Amino acid sequence: MVITLIIAALLPIVVTLLLGFLAGWHHDFDSAQGTILNRMVMLYALPLTLFAGMMGLPRSVLLSQGTIALILMAGMIGGYLLVFVLVRYLFRQPSGLAALLALAIAGPAVPFVGVPVMGHLYGTISTLPIALCSIIMNLFQVPVTLLILSAGSPDRKGAGFMQHILHTLKEPVVWAPLLALILLLLNLHIPEQIRSALQLLGGTTGGVALFASGIILYSYHVVINRTVVLAVLAKNILLPLAILALAVWLHTDRQTLHLSVVSMAIPTASVCVILAVQYNTAEQELASILFFSTLFSIITMGGLLYYLGG
């Protein structure tokens, strides 16, 4: 039963990524068009599914999720800072590469892969960790990475940290779940008919994002080196195990433990490759990390789900 559930949750990832990869191989789409598809997801589909999903939750459920927010912040913010410091000062790599590796390791593709996987496994409650991960990534990880990359660029035209934050707050993927959060705290809800209407486009999030990732994966020739191997090992195994240990140490309930661990076990987000290409920094290595993290996540996520009991 557990294995059947795992296959049902992970098989859509494999099939949709493969279709995107084949579309790139057949020259139906290129990396630029894959990026456009990702933009549609980030501007419309994902904000709608996050807003509609959160508005379907009772206020009491929201108020009971403080622990999972703490764990996800520890994984995504604490993990980002730890990786950056290690890569920059222990391995003595450039700050731009350190920031991108920190984003690749501590930034799971929860907004995209989380929708088909966690939605299938845990239902509506999975909207909360998906929204939390989206907010953390867009309010902290991406602005900090942009700030570091901009500071290291030759023209030094990068905006300040607060400007990045203000710009990020204008993104629908950030303000939509924040608006839903405020409405829920005020115990305000929208009519079910409107919520259902918003989910029509929102329901395309997982499929389109995975298809676009497959196109991007084809567009770059992957390599295997020490950096790629260590990054994939840290992303797929070490970080989820660290979150599992933290959740156990905090004596969380079974649902919180599952949602936290599975969230952090989801593979690398394609945004790290998009930023690497934009700033001409380690594009091939970041694409390789995305490729192998996604490939091996079928095994590592499957193993974790089996250990957790589905």
| Residue 306 in this model has a pLDDT that exceeds 90 | no
Tokens matching residue 273? 């490759």
Q: Are 117 and 130 in contact (CB under 8 A)?
A: no
Sole residue written with tokens 């789409």: 29
Q: How confident is the model at residue 161 (pLDDT cuts 50, 70, 90)?
A: low
- Is the pLDDT at 56 greater than 70? The verdict is yes
What is the C-alpha separation between 179 and 172, in angstroms, rounded? 10
Tell me the C-alpha to C-alpha distance, in Å, between residue 203 and each of 59, 197, 206, 224, 266.
23, 10, 7, 35, 19
Give residue 152's pLDDT: 65
Measured CA to CA, the distance from residue 36 to residue 41 in angstroms comes to 9
Number of domains in the chain: 1
Highest mean pLDDT, choosing among 66-80, 150-164, 171-185, 190-204: 66-80
pLDDT at 228: 96
| Number of residues in the chain | 310
**Cα angle 53, 301, 90; round to 5:** 105
Q: Residue 112's pLDDT is what?
A: 73
Helix (H, G, I), strand (E, B) or coil at 28: coil
- Computed over its alpha carbons, how large is the radius of gyration of the chain? 18
| The predicted structure's pLDDT at residue 87 | 96
Containing domain of residue 183, as a range?
A: 2-308
Mind listing the pLDDT tens digit for each residue in 193-250?
A: 999 999 899 888 878 888 888 888 888 778 899 999 999 999 999 999 999 999 999 9
Burial-class residue 77 by CB neighbours within 10 Å (0-12, 13-18, 19+). middle
- For residue 252, the domain's CATH number is 1.20.1530.20
pLDDT digits (tens, 9 = 90+) for 249-296: 999 999 999 999 999 999 998 888 878 877 888 888 998 998 899 889
> What's the whole-model pTM score?
0.82
